[in-house]
């Protein structure tokens, strides 16, 4: 398929676009056959569609108020557990 695959047989950007644009179940058979067997092309196709969810996107820190809230709740839970252990343990 001229222009849709490169010299190695992997899909070009045009080939990936053809697979993306095709209705479900009707992409060209030669392209889907290669895509089913080629992890590199699968990764490239998934990364094109993922956008903001890309695994290469750096994670951002949660807001400081959320960190403080989680730590305060953990401390409160620990204090309640200690009080309960003292009152029921002895």
Which one, of 52, 39, 51, 49, lies nearest residue 11 by Cα? Answer: 39
Q: What is the pLDDT of residues 17-66, one digit of tens each?
A: 888 888 888 888 888 888 889 898 888 888 876 654 555 566 788 899 99
Q: Where does residue 30 rank: exposed (0-12), middle (13-18), buried (19+ CB within 10 A)?
A: middle
Q: Grade residue 86 by pLDDT with cuts at 50, 70 and 90.
A: very high
Judged by DSSP in three states, 11 sits in: strand
């Amino acid at each position: 398929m001229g222009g849709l695959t490169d010299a190695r047989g992997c899909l070009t950007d045009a080939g990936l676009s053809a697979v993306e644009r095709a209705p479900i179940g009707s992409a060209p058979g030669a392209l889907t056959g290669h895509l089913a067997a080629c992890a590199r092309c699968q990764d490239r196709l998934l990364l094109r569609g993922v956008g903001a969810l890309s695994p290469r996107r750096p994670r951002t820190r949660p807001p400081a108020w959320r960190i403080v809230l989680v730590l305060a709740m953990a401390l409160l839970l620990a204090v309640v557990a200690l009080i309960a252990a003292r009152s029921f343990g002895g």
